[in-house]
């Protein structure tokens, strides 16, 4: 799930300077789970903007705001409402997907933080940085790119104290976790395997995949 957090409202209001009519776009998927772009948040935004002299003339709530065709279809329903700008209450992907479909400014209501595991309602943990070259098979299923503050792939830096990371002592040292997991699963031999230096060649932005081409 893509984890988002509301921007400070002053930042959003600064972007909206001079705008009197807006449309809101939420997201029925990740932003709803993050409580940043669901229907309650859209309602709260509508009420807040009214106190600031900004009228919400249209709202759109696609199942997924990062889905181009869904967004295009849903935006058609509000095309004649007279909005001067759009506030997108989804992630950065969703915001750009909206912007691809309209000819007015589109402003993000949220900051997009990370790809996260949902631990329970309202609790999210970063697990994967989408490096494009997964090494989980040799690290006991624990990601050293994400869980180690230095993204080290061949063992610890040596700075841990009492099992905690020297960079952020609130976090467990990733490599101690990896050692314990490999030990518990009878795979300690994998620690002696040298992993190739991480190649970020696969992470040349922006990335594209076309499954149709591969068929």
> Which residues are CB-neighbours of 109 under 8 A, at least 6 positions away?
6, 7, 12, 36, 37, 45, 87, 88, 89
| Residue 102 CA: distances (Å) to CA of 66, 77, 78, 83, 85 | 15, 13, 11, 11, 9
Q: Tokens for 171?
A: 């976090």
Indicate whether 40 belongs to the interface with ligand SF4 (CB under 6 A): no
Indicate whether 145 belongs to the interface with ligand SF4 (CB under 6 A): yes
Q: Tokens for 148?
A: 């180690």
Indicate whether 126 belongs to the interface with ligand SF4 (CB under 6 A): no
> Candidates 32-40, 59-67, 116-124, 148-156 — which segment interacts with ligand SF4 by CB under 6 A?
148-156
Number of residues that bind ligand SF4 (CB under 6 A): 24
Helical spans, DSSP H, in 52-184: 68-76, 92-99, 144-147, 174-184
> According to CB under 6 A, which one of 60, 165, 178, 182 is a site residue for ligand SF4?
165
CB 108 to ligand SF4: min, Å? 24
Q: Tokens for 38?
A: 């669901």
Instruction: List the one residue out of 154, 149, 179 whose CA is nearest residue 166.
Output: 149
Instruction: List the one residue out of 43, 47, 56 whose CA is nearest residue 87.
Output: 56
> According to CB under 6 A, which one of 50, 69, 77, 134 is a site residue for ligand SF4?
134
Nearer to ligand SF4, 51 or 192 (CB): 192
> According to CB under 6 A, which one of 1, 15, 57, 128 is a site residue for ligand SF4?
128
**Contact in structure between 87 and 19 (CB atoms under 8 Å):** no
Indicate whether 149 belongs to the interface with ligand SF4 (CB under 6 A): yes
Indicate whether 163 belongs to the interface with ligand SF4 (CB under 6 A): no
Nearer to ligand SF4, 101 or 146 (CB): 146
Nearer to ligand SF4, 89 or 148 (CB): 148
CB 65 to ligand SF4: min, Å? 23
Indicate whether 174 belongs to the interface with ligand SF4 (CB under 6 A): yes
CA 32 – CA 28 distance, rounded (Å): 5
Residues of this chain that interact with ligand SF4 (CB under 6 A) are 128-131, 134-136, 143, 145-146, 148-150, 152, 156-157, 159-160, 165-167, 173-175
């Amino acid at each position: 799930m893509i984890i988002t957090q509301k921007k400070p409202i002053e930042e959003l209001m600064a972007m909206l300077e001079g705008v009197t009519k807006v449309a809101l776009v939420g997201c029925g998927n990740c932003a709803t789970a993050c409580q940043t772009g669901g229907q309650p948040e859209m309602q709260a935004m509508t009420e807040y903007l009214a106190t600031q002299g900004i009228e919400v003339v249209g709202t759109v709530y696609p199942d997924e705001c990062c889905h181009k065709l869904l967004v295009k279809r849903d935006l058609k329903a509000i095309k004649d409402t007279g909005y001067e700008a759009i506030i997108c209450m989804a992630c950065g992907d969703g915001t750009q997907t909206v912007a691809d479909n309209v000819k007015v400014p589109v402003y993000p209501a949220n900051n997009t933080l990370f790809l996260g595991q949902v631990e329970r309602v309202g609790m999210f943990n970063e697990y994967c940085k989408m490096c494009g070259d997964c090494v989980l098979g040799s690290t006991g299923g624990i990601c050293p790119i994400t869980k180690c503050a230095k993204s080290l792939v061949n063992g610890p830096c040596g700075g841990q104290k009492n099992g905690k990371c020297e960079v952020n002592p609130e976090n467990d040292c990733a490599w101690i976790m990896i050692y314990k997991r490999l030990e518990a699963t009878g795979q300690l031999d994998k620690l002696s395997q040298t992993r190739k230096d991480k190649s970020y060649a696969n992470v040349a932005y922006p990335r594209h995949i076309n499954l149709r081409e591969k068929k």
